[in-house]
A and B are shown apart, each in its own frame.
Chain A
Amino acid sequence: MSHTEKKIANADQIRSLEEMFDAKIARDGKIEPKDWMPEKYRKTHIRQISQHAHSEIVGMLPEANWISRAPSLRRKVALLAKVQDEAGHGLYLYSACETLGISREELYEQLHSGKAKYSSIFNYPTLTWADMGAIGWLVDGAAIINQVPLCSTSFGPYARAMVRVCKEESFHQRQGYEIMMTLCNGTQEQKDMAQDALNRWWWPALMMLGPTDEQSTHTEQSMIWKLKRKTNDELRQQFIDQTVPQADIIGLNIPDSELKYNNETGHYDFGEIDWEEFWQVVKGHGMCNKERISARKKAWDNGEWVRDAAVAYAEKQAESQEAKQAV
């Protein structure tokens, strides 16, 4: 066989391996870390799982801003627990990602250098206490809609991490909605604060579900690999349909003059999303992009001596253990 012939034979072999691989996923078979997988599958999963992990980690920052100023002990312990869960979710996801052969340090490096993205929603500022309510209700609400289908995604470690994440997430949304409800039952000033938070978070929450299907480049492949079970537009519609009645119940107005229930489709019609804003934030020009990454880097850099001291202590302990055994 000539060199070219060998190459073609090899390419054919890979194509048939890929067909078998896709067929296995179509049968609801799971892929585990040491199984053969197409390089593109590995890369796509590293990208998506790490983005997801980074979003959990960066997502702690806007809320941490309010822990010390929570209005009661009840609110404070709940917010603390929520932020701690987010750290946990980030850790589950980082370990799932590492099974694909990338190290934790590389993952952090990609976040800190800006090479890896995280959810653009966390680049908006948290101006008032009501933002804690809006984030839990809307941002976690949208996240749940995104995440539930991932519990049955094809890559085993990702699916298992998502099962755990989804179990823990529903308290996040409920505590947020309860904050909004309490504000809406309060003084006019408190109700205005809740409305203002909804006004600011509504559109970014809709953007969180990703670009429109027309604009989305990875949808088809992601559907085959079950990284996606529904398209972005379907998820967005689901989010709107379930959230609008929740706003009505507590007497808040969705800031969209074109929002209207459509009797024919059984869904809400809604106004145009400002995608220009979305892409600006994704590209790093949001209100808090720089602040978030610099806070994250500062925490990492300032923690270095602690990590080093822990290693030094562990080594010392191991040495003295060896010395004891030698005697």
Chain B
Amino acid sequence: MKKNWPLWEVFVRSKNGLEHRHFGSLHAPDAEMALKNARDVYTRRNEGVSIWVVESINIKASNPDDNEEMFEPATDKAYRHPTFYDLPDDIEHM
């Protein structure tokens, strides 16, 4: 038959209160198996309390070649940061 298992991305929540974080990827025939394999590959030492898997082809990623138009508009907007604003020296709690 010769059909290769698709690639999945694995996200693990290390403990409650923290977000899921990308841990790596693996191959599996379906979501159920991807979850089981992720358990064995990425959480052999209690690294997680929750796992998400998503088939890699479903991720739309930005292209680093477009980083200029993508992210540069934010760099010249210093007024979005609190340090942009002048305050008297003796003011507190602001």
Contact = CB atoms under 8 A, between A and B. Distances in A.
Contacts of B27: 104
A3 to B, nearest CB: 26
A74 interface: no
A251 B26 CA distance: 44
Contact of B26 (A95, A161, A317): A95
A105 B3 CA distance: 11
Nearest to A103: B4
A12 interface: no
A308 B1 CA distance: 7
B6 to A, nearest CB: 9
A161 B40 CA distance: 16
A160 B10 CA distance: 14
Most chain B CB within 10 A, of A35, A91, A105, is at A91
A59 to B, nearest CB: 17
Interface stretch (B58-66, B73-81, B82-90): B58-66
B30 A92 contact: no
Interface in A291-327: 307-308, 310-314, 317-318
B93 interface: no
A304 to B, nearest CB: 8
Contacts, number: 55
A178 interface: no
Interface in A65-100: 81, 84-85, 88, 91-92, 95-96, 98
A269 interface: no
A95 B27 CA distance: 9
Contact of B64 (A34, A98, A313, A318): A34
A314 B24 contact: no
B64 A36 contact: yes
A88 B44 contact: yes
Given A91-B26, A98-B7, A311-B1, A32 B44 contact: no
Contacts of A34: 61, 63-64
Contacts of A28: none
Contacts of A36: 64-65
B41 A92 contact: yes
A161 B24 contact: yes
Nearest to A34: B64
A168 interface: yes
Interface in A164-219: 168
Contacts of B5: 307, 310-311
A92 B1 CA distance: 27
A145 to B, nearest CB: 23
Interface in B17-67: 24-27, 29-30, 33, 40-42, 44-45, 61, 63-65
A310 B29 contact: yes
A91 B42 CA distance: 10
Contacts of B65: 36
A275 to B, nearest CB: 37
Nearest to A90: B41
A82 to B, nearest CB: 11
Contact of A105 (B4, B25, B40): B4
Given A95-B24, A313-B30, A317-B30, 19 more contacts: A34-B61, A35-B64, A84-B40, A88-B42, A91-B26, A91-B41, A95-B26, A96-B24, A98-B7, A98-B25, A103-B4, A307-B5, A307-B29, A308-B2, A308-B3, A310-B5, A310-B30, A311-B5, A314-B30
Q: Which 10 A-B pairs have the closest CB atoms?
A: A314-B30, A310-B29, A314-B29, A308-B1, A95-B25, A311-B3, A311-B29, A35-B64, A34-B64, A91-B41
13 contacts: A34-B64, A88-B42, A88-B44, A92-B24, A96-B24, A104-B4, A160-B24, A168-B44, A307-B5, A308-B1, A311-B29, A312-B1, A317-B30
